[in-house]
Amino acid sequence: RHPGWPAKLGPLRVPAGVLAVRPVRLRDAGEWSRVRLRDREHLERWEPTGIGPWPDRNAFWSWPSQWLALRGLARRGQCLPFTITVDGRFAGQITVGNVIRASLRSAWIGYWVSSDIVRGGVATGAVALVTDHVFDFGGLHRLEATVRPENTPSLRVLAKAGYRQEGLFERYLDVAGGWRDHFCYAVTKEETGDGLVSRLVAKGLAERV
Ligand code: ACO
């Protein structure tokens, strides 16, 4: 089992409401599918190219196998797959994946937020909560986030949360049907001081509740 897993993080008050993060559940199926079928425009161009049509991949019945796969990886210590909630309702996902231990102790972080509550500080708060958690309890030292240069909202999220831009990975990921360049952002534990959440609170961007 992964150190720091399972875990519930928050709550944190952000402009969109009361934000919390908890492990993905089988019963997320209904909301996960409803939001993702509605939000195809908002999500598809930023996500890894999938096999099969969007409506099939995001149908209610495709969640159980995804959830099982994520839970299996989490139990093997390779992934921390979280659901984001706002005011208790499903609001997106945030995942720490490809966890490498030994002398690297690093992983990637990725996230998406329901289109009806974007621009309310949800992703920034979730990134801060999860980053602090994996550094304090997950035994990790570095997190990496890769973002397409065109993805202005996600670049803002990482800058606000306290990640640094390290470089450009050319033709890095198969996203939306092609090999896309990605900026690499990262943060290591010693840069986070009292934690990324504390920094957001000090800047007035979030409040502990
Ligand atoms: N142009 C410029 N800035 C924008 C735009 C836009 N079109 N849209 C949003 N922003 C800004 C917001 O104003 C805000 O910045 P501010 O606080 O300085 O005003 C910032 O982008 C968004 O910050 P949050 O409110 O914390 O983030 P939000 O909860 O809206 O979620 C996210 C952002 C996750 C990128 C959401 O838009 C989304 O789900 N997008 C589709 C999927 C996606 O791109 N996921 C990220 C992939 S990269 C990765 O996972 C590492």
Rounded CA-CA distance 20/107 in Å is 21
- Of ligand 1's listed atoms, the one at least distance from the Cα of 158 is 51
Interhelix angle 29-38/63-75, rounded to 10 degrees, is: 120
Q: Please enumerate in sequence order all residues whose Cβ is within 8 A of that of 190, keeping only pairs 6 or more positions apart, or say none.
A: none
- Of ligand 1's listed atoms, the one at least distance from the Cα of 114 is 39
Domain that holds residue 48: 9-208
Judge whether 1 lies within some domain: no
- Choose the residue to mutate in 21, 83, 156 for probing ligand 1, maximizing ligand atoms within 8 Å of C-beta: 156
CB of 145 closer than 6 angstroms to any ligand 1 atom: yes
Judge whether 105 lies within some domain: yes
In this structure, the residue with its CA closest to atom 19 of ligand 1 is 119
As a whole number, the mean pLDDT across the chain is 97
CB of 5 closer than 6 angstroms to any ligand 1 atom: no
Residue-wise pLDDT for 159-202, tens only, equals: 999 999 999 999 999 999 999 999 999 999 999 999 999 999 99
Structural domain count, the chain: 1
Judge whether 187 lies within some domain: yes
pLDDT for the residue 120:
98
CB of 40 closer than 6 angstroms to any ligand 1 atom: no
Is the ipTM beyond the 0.95 threshold? yes
Residue-wise pLDDT for 43-102, tens only, equals: 999 999 999 999 999 999 999 999 999 999 999 999 999 999 999 999 999 999 999 999
Judge whether 2 lies within some domain: no
Q: Please enumerate in sequence order all residues whose Cβ is within 8 A of that of 92, keeping only pairs 6 or more positions apart, or say none.
A: 35, 83, 84, 111, 112, 113, 114, 122, 123, 126
CB of 143 closer than 6 angstroms to any ligand 1 atom: no
1: confidence class by pLDDT, cuts 50, 70, 90: low
Q: Quick check: helix, strand or coil at residue 116?
A: helix
- Of ligand 1's listed atoms, the one at least distance from the Cα of 109 is 51
% of the chain residues with pLDDT over 70? 100
> Quick one: how many helices (H) and strands (E) in the chain?
7, 9
Residue-wise pLDDT for 124-158, tens only, equals: 999 999 999 999 999 999 999 999 999 999 999 99
- The CATH number of residue 128's host domain is 3.40.630.30
pLDDT for the residue 2:
75
Rounded CA-CA distance 84/126 in Å is 7
